[in-house]
């Protein structure tokens, strides 16, 4: 999939995007080494390439799929999640990337190298999957 003018994070301008289509086009995404390096240093681990590309799309907060409850966190929100959400995501080895409402987030679980849903109130992981698309289809 080629990214058109409305498909790039730089040109989002608050428009809703189809996350499923964006994720299918990850091979086209250029890695933002500046933000990826900051996250890798914070978590003291090397990120998988697809995760690097997803993070590289996270320059600004983005609402996806015309739904208020699927919000991609900005790179600043990802980097400061532990402070902003008052939970030590680094110690938990979880990287929050999407807010899906009701205190639930789609996170990358470094310990198991998979995606999970995580409730920040109960501190509960659930619905683990190797496929991020599972949560948005």
CATH for 102: 3.40.1580
- For residue 21, the model assigns a pLDDT of 83
**Segment 11-38, tens digit of pLDDT:** 343 444 688 888 888 999 999 999 999 9
**How many residues does this entry show for the chain?**
137
Edge-to-edge strand order for the sheet containing 94-101?
A: 62-63, 71-72, 94-101, 104-109, 114-119, 124-129
Looking at the chain, the whole-number percentage of residues with pLDDT higher than 90 is 64
Tokens 């987030």 sit on residue: 105
Tokens 């409402």 sit on residue: 101
Judge if pTM exceeds 0.85: no
Looking at the chain, the whole-number percentage of residues with pLDDT higher than 70 is 84
- For residue 63, the model assigns a pLDDT of 80
The string over 28-62, giving b where at least 16 C-beta atoms fall within 10 Å of a residue's C-beta and e elsewhere, is ebeebeebbeebeebbeeebeeebbbbbbbbbbeb
Domain count, the chain: 1
Of the listed ranges 92-96, 98-102, 133-137, the one predicted with least confidence = 133-137
> Domain residues for 89?
5-135
């Amino acid at each position: 999939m080629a990214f058109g003018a409305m498909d790039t994070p730089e040109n989002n301008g608050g428009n809703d995007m189809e996350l499923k289509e964006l994720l299918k086009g990850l091979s086209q995404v250029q890695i933002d080494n500046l933000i990826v390096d900051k996250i890798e240093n914070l978590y003291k681990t090397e990120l998988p390439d697809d995760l690097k590309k997803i993070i590289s799309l996270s320059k600004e907060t983005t609402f996806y799929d015309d739904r208020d409850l699927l919000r991609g966190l900005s790179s600043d929100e990802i980097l400061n999640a532990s402070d902003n959400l008052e939970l030590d995501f680094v110690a938990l080895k979880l990287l929050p990337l999407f807010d899906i409402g009701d205190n639930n987030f789609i996170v990358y679980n470094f310990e198991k190298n998979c995606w999970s849903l995580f409730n920040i109130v109960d501190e509960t992981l659930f619905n683990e999957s190797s496929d991020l698309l599972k949560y948005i289809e």
